[in-house]
Amino acid sequence: MRIDVLSLFPEFIGQSAEIGVVGRAIRRGLLSLRTWQIRDFASGVHRSVDDRPYGGGPGMVMMIDPLRQCLEAARADDSRPAHVLFMSPQGRPLSQKRLREWSLMPRLILVCGRYEGVDERFVEHCVDEQVSIGDYVLSGGELAAAVIVDALGRLRDGALGDPESARQDSFEDGLLDCPHYTRPPQHELGAVPEVLGSGDHAAIARWRRQQALGRTWLLRPDLIQRLQLSREDRRLLDA
Ligand code: 6GU
C-alpha cells in the first residue's frame, strides 16, 4: 500500500513515520510513504497558500489551486487509483473499522489543512472522505495524518512481530484489551493473577475475555451497547 501526505509541514509526517513498528514496515517495503509540500505548488513570488476569508472574519483560508495542483502531482506519481482523505474536525470519526477498510486499498492520499480552514470548493470536488480523530480542535491535520499512517502501518502483513497481536488489539473485536502482566509474578505492587500461571489455556482465554468485557462495561459502556454479546459473554459479564 502507498500513502501520500500533502502538508505545509511534511517533515513532521516523515519523521513521525521513521520510528518503531511503522518505521520498520516502511524500511521493509510493506508500506510506502511519500510526503508533499503544498507550498511547492503555490505561484507568485510569495508562494502564498492562503488568503483572507470572503465575508470577513479572523484567520486565513487555504486557497484551492496550490492544494489542487499538489494533489494532482501526487496522483500522477503512481498509476493506481487513490482514495483522498481530508483531515478535518468536520469529518467522520476515525475507527479501527474504517482503518481496516482503507488498509485494503492500494493507495491513499491524506490532505492536511492549516489555518482556519480550506476553501470549501476544494473539499467538495477533490476529496472522497473527511476524517476527524476526535471532538477537539487541532491547529492542523498533520497529527491526524500521523495517527492514520501509524495505525495503517501496523496493520500491514508482517509489520508486527506476531500477526496474532493485531487480532488481539483493543477494538478489533469491539472491546477494550484485557490486562497484561510479566515477571516477576510476586511484587510489592501485587501478584500476577493466578490463572495466568496455571497453564490451563481455556481458563486463561475465559479470564481474558471476562476482563475485556468487564473493563469495557466499566470504562466504555457505549461500546458494549453496540455489540451483540453471546450467551457465554453475558454469563462472564454477570459472574
Ligand atoms: Cl482531522 N484536524 C483538525 N484540525 N482538528 C481535528 C481533527 C482533524 N480531528 C479532530 N480535531
The full set of domain ranges for the chain reads 2-153, 170-238
pLDDT of residue 43: 95
Could you give the count of Cα atoms lying within 13 Å of 112 in the half-sphere of its Cβ?
29
- Model confidence band, residue 227 (pLDDT cutoffs 50, 70, 90): very high
Q: 170-214: per-residue pLDDT in tens?
A: 788 899 999 999 999 999 999 999 999 999 999 999 999 999 999
- Model confidence band, residue 107 (pLDDT cutoffs 50, 70, 90): very high
**Concatenated DSSP letters of 64-129:** HHHHHHHHHHHHHTSSS--EEEEEEEEEEEP-HHHHHHHTTSSEEEEEE--TTEE-HHHHHHH-SE
Average pLDDT over residues 26-43: 97
The yes/no answer on whether domain 2-153 falls in CATH 3.20.20.140 is no
Q: What distance in Å separates the CA atoms of residue 226 and residue 220, rounded to the nearest whole number?
A: 11
Q: Does residue 165 or residue 154 have the better pLDDT? A: 154
Indicate the pTM of the whole model: 0.94
Question: With 80 as the cut, is the pLDDT of residue 163 above it?
Answer: no
pLDDT of residue 42: 98
- 133 assigned binding-site residue: yes
Pocket test residue of 5, 87, 115 for ligand 1, highest count of atoms within 8 A of CB: 87
- Model confidence band, residue 167 (pLDDT cutoffs 50, 70, 90): confident
| Phi, psi of 225, deg, nearest 5 | -60, -30
pLDDT of residue 161: 82
The complex scores an ipTM of 0.95
Q: 143 in ligand 1 pocket by Cβ < 6 Å?
A: no
Q: Which residues are catalytic?
A: 89, 116, 154, 169
Q: 69-90: per-residue pLDDT in tens?
A: 999 999 999 999 999 999 999 9
How far is CA 127 from each of CA 7, 64, 108, rounded to the nearest angstrom? 15, 12, 11
pLDDT of residue 101: 98
Class of domain 170-238: mainly alpha
Q: 137 in ligand 1 pocket by Cβ < 6 Å?
A: yes
Question: With 80 as the cut, is the pLDDT of residue 166 above it?
Answer: no
| The residue type at 182 | T
- Model confidence band, residue 162 (pLDDT cutoffs 50, 70, 90): confident
Question: With 80 as the cut, is the pLDDT of residue 157 above it?
Answer: yes
Question: With 80 as the cut, is the pLDDT of residue 168 above it?
Answer: no
Average pLDDT, whole number, for the chain? 96
- 136 assigned binding-site residue: yes
Q: 123-144: per-residue pLDDT in tens?
A: 999 999 999 999 999 999 999 9
